[in-house]
Every structure is written in structure tokens, then in C-alpha cells.
Amino acid sequence: MLSKNVLKYLTSLQQKKYRQEYGAFLVEGAKSVLELLASDFEVEMVVATDKFYKENTRSLEKQPFRVEIATPDELVRAGTLQSNDAGLAVVKTKSNDFLYAEEGEYVLVLDDIRDPGNLGTMIRIADWYGIRKMVCSTTTTDWYNPKVVAASKGSFTRVQGFYTDLGAYFEQISVGNARPIAHRLEIGASGQGSVGNAGPVAPRLEIEASGASVYGTFLEGKNIHQVTFAKTGYIVMGNESNGIGSVVEKFVTDKVTIPRFGEAESLNVGIATAIVLDNWRR
């Protein structure tokens, strides 16, 4: 049986405020917990039913975390699922590390995605198409929301997220201008510039040309069936109602459109993400 304190701690993690305070989040259900145990996330605690514990003793007992046994009812009370006869885990959140597209790589950028189900679905789709990095506007729903984790179906263990102000981000990596580029991080050593750089030196991003493009879906874009994708790039998906905002639009080098053959007014943003990534991977 779970103590009052443990139950209180678990339910508190349903709120972003407490996830941030404790630096921890919930992972629920057999499949997600097992994918988690096979990942590099730091697990703090697993709450398992007797049955789930017995079926997965080897994965559970060798690890350096606390294990509690609970009934399915307790799991439902502690978590967000409608039923859970397996277990849940409390996991340390990762640090918000800077991410960008290295040469030959694509990054998925989310401008103000509000629905947790959509974000989780987009993480799953990114994982299917081999995208490992996602950059999210600070207005995008919380990566560690239990609904996001559930909808990602375990893919949150393989795809990294970085939250930032997208305008400043695109400025910093200097994409979207005449010569799209990637970059590497370089700290100016002891106040001195490198040879050939006479200016004052602060920690900054050193820029290299690499041909990164920024793709975004717009009504008036080029038919995505006819787009040839660059080797390195960013694919931006916009808000559920308003699409890509004007700040981010300035950095889009290639506006694309998913052609419509019937009469539906729009497509869900998760669906649109899948279609764009499928066209990119062809």
C-alpha cells in the first residue's frame, strides 16, 4: 500500500509547477515503463503491481531506485490513466540542452503547440521518421505532461526536446537568411578573439555554412510533392489554430503546402507533421 506522502508526491507530478519544483515526471503503463527502463533516463521510483513486479523482476531489482508495490486502484489514483494494472515510474527530467541540426540532420521545430496529445503524437512520429531532436517554443505545452508522455508511446525516451524563444533561437543559429547555415558552439577563451577576429569576444555561436533550410507549412507554399529537401534542415510546425507565427515565419526559407484533393478545411497538426516527414524521407 502506498503511504499518504508517496501518493501526494505522485499526484503532485500531474502539475507542471510541481514537476518543475521536483525536477521529476510520471511515466505510466507497462509499455512506457519498460521502454523507460531500457533508456538513459534516471529513474527515481517505480510503483508496480505485484504481477508487473513478478513479470519484470530482473529489470526492476537490479536498478538503484526505490520500488513500491501497489494495487491497480492505487495506480489509477496516483496517476492519470483510466486503468493501469502494471505500474508507473517517477523519472528525473533532463536539462534543457541546446539542440541544433548537425550536418545531414533534420530538427523538428514546434511553434506554440498547445495540445498535449498532439505533442506526444508528434514525438512518436518524429521517432518513426528518425528525427532525434525537437526544438519547442516556450509556449509549447510541457514535454513532461503525463498526456504527452502517454501519447508518445515510449518515443519520449529516444527524442530530445529543447524549449527556447524561437525568434532568438533562429537568430542565434542564423538560419533563414540568404545563406542558411549550421553552427558550432565556441567559447571565446580568456577574452581574446581567435586569429583574424579583431572584435571583442563573448561566448557566442561560431557560424559555418552548411546549407540548412527551414521548411514550414503555409497555405500558399510550394506543393510538398514537388519539394526537393536540402541535406540539413529544420521543419517547423505551427499552432493548432493559427499556424506558424509571424516571428518564426521570417526565418522560414521554404514555404510548403500539403495539397488538398477534397474539401476538408484543414488537417490536424499531428497528421500534417507525418505527411511532411514522409515526403522529406522519400
Interaction site with a second copy (CB under 8 A): 121, 124-132, 153-155, 158, 225, 258-268, 270-271, 274-275, 278-279, 281-282
CA angle 193, 183, 132 (to 5 degrees): 145
Cβ proximity to a second copy: between 67 and 275 the closer is 275
User: Least distance in Å: CB of 38 to a second copy?
Assistant: 11
Please state the closest distance from residue 46 (CB atom) to a second copy, in A.
21
Identity of the residue, 158 or 205, whose beta carbon is nearer to a second copy in the bound complex: 158
| Nearer CB in complex with a second copy: 24/131 | 131
Nearer to a second copy, 166 or 277 (CB): 277
Q: Quick one: 7 or 275, whose CB is closer to a second copy? A: 275
Q: Report the candidate in 276, 266, 219, 259 with the shortest Cα–Cα distance to residue 241.
A: 266
Least distance from a second copy to the Cβ atom of residue 48, Å: 22
Three-class SS state of 190: helix
List strands edge to edge, sheet with 160-164.
160-164, 133-137, 106-111, 232-238, 212-223, 254-257
Residue placing its CB nearer to a second copy in the complex, 174 or 273: 273
201: cell is 569576444
Contacts of residue 246, defined as CB under 8 A and 6 or more positions apart, other chains included, come to none
Q: Distance (Å, rounded) from C-alpha 47 to C-alpha 254?
A: 47
User: Please, what is the minimum distance in Å from the beta carbon of residue 236 to a second copy?
Assistant: 19
Q: HEC states along 72-107?
A: HHHHHHHCCCCCCCCEEEEEECCCCCCCCCCCCCEE
Q: For residues 228 and 246, which CB has a smaller minimum distance to a second copy in the complex?
A: 228
Q: How far is the CB of 153 from a second copy (least distance, A)?
A: 7
Q: Quick one: which H or E segment has residue 156?
A: none
Q: Are 111 and 245 in contact (CB under 8 A)?
A: yes
Helix axes 116-128, 269-281, angle to 10 degrees: 10
42 CB contacts (<8 Å, ≥6 apart)? 91, 92
CB of 62 to a second copy, least distance (A): 23
Measured CA to CA, the distance from residue 106 to residue 26 in angstroms comes to 29
User: What's the closest the beta carbon of residue 27 comes to a second copy, in angstroms?
Assistant: 16
Which C-beta is closer to a second copy: that of 34 or that of 47? 34
**Shortest approach of a second copy to residue 56 CB, angstroms?**
18
Gap between the terminal Cα atoms of the chain: 52
